[in-house]
Structure 1
Amino acid sequence: MLLNTIKIKSNTLANFRKMFNTRTILTYFILVLLVPFSITEKHNRPNSIQKRRSPEPDEPRHTSGCHSCRMREEIKQRNLMVIKDEILRRIGFEEAPNITGKALPQVPSEYLMRIEEENGGMQSDQPQFRSGYTVVEEEDDYHVRTQQIIAYAQPCAYLR
């Protein structure tokens, strides 16, 4: 009986050693396969904000300059995309409508004449000498400048 118990224990111990060696070998094999991939993934990761969309073709792609300038430009582009997406979401569109090739209507001549009378003969750098209260808006170079205007079609007023 004692001899059988010793044989069972020795068989169990032998099986444990075989299993331990197999697990150890398997573990080392997996480590050898996976470690090089995880190291290369960490080194290839850029240290900048990832965009969810690729840049549009008309957007300039900055490849030179200091890191903070690139980050600032990337944040600026990201903010523009967020603003555009939010405007489209609020008006119920998933993407901007394509109006390529559509002819815009001509500006009526009475509007052009009124603009000419108000600003007639004045150069853009001349001061405006008007009496009374005037509002002067300064150019704001810190915030985003308008680069694209999206116009949506509306039915004509006299057809309603």
Structure 2
Amino acid sequence: MPGVNGVEATRAIVRAVPATRVLVLTMFEDDESVFAAMRAGAFGYLVKGAKQEEIVWAVRSVAAGHAVFGPSVARRIIDFFAVGASRAPAPEPFPELTAREREVLDLIAAGRSNPAIARHLAISGKTVSNHITAIFAKLAVADRAEAIVRARQAGLGADLEQGASRADPG
């Protein structure tokens, strides 16, 4: 899907029509992808390679309001809860962002300016601006203030906030 990933598409579909039931069919079966899709509102998750009959059954089941997960995905979910969510590593906030975008958002939430972020990450100001544009689009926020609020609610910016305001004013 050019220009949008499955998690973003799921989130947009469910936001636009909340009664819609989304079934994800993907090649990704890692914990981060599975749980990101579920947080976005997916009712089902199958890994490519599923048999045609399984896909048809899953579409009908999800449309009827049932949660459906392929065998390998179901095993991951069971293992996650069997180990205990408290002992499992916390999922990264904003899984729709790349690691670098999360790093930039963390610095924004800490009060850093674009030039300060560029210096800190040893990247160009234009690259920082590109990351910020992508962050705003992926988080569906209108401006820096809204991004900061969302980031701080997710726990970003806290480690750097005090040092950023004293050590790097701009």
Shorter-chain TM-score tier: under 0.3
* More helix as a share of residues: 2
* More strand as a share of residues: 2
- Per the normalisation by structure 1, the TM-score is 0.23
Q: Which of 1 and 2 has higher RCO (CA within 8 Å, sep 6+)?
A: 2
Which of the pair has more CA radius of gyration?
1
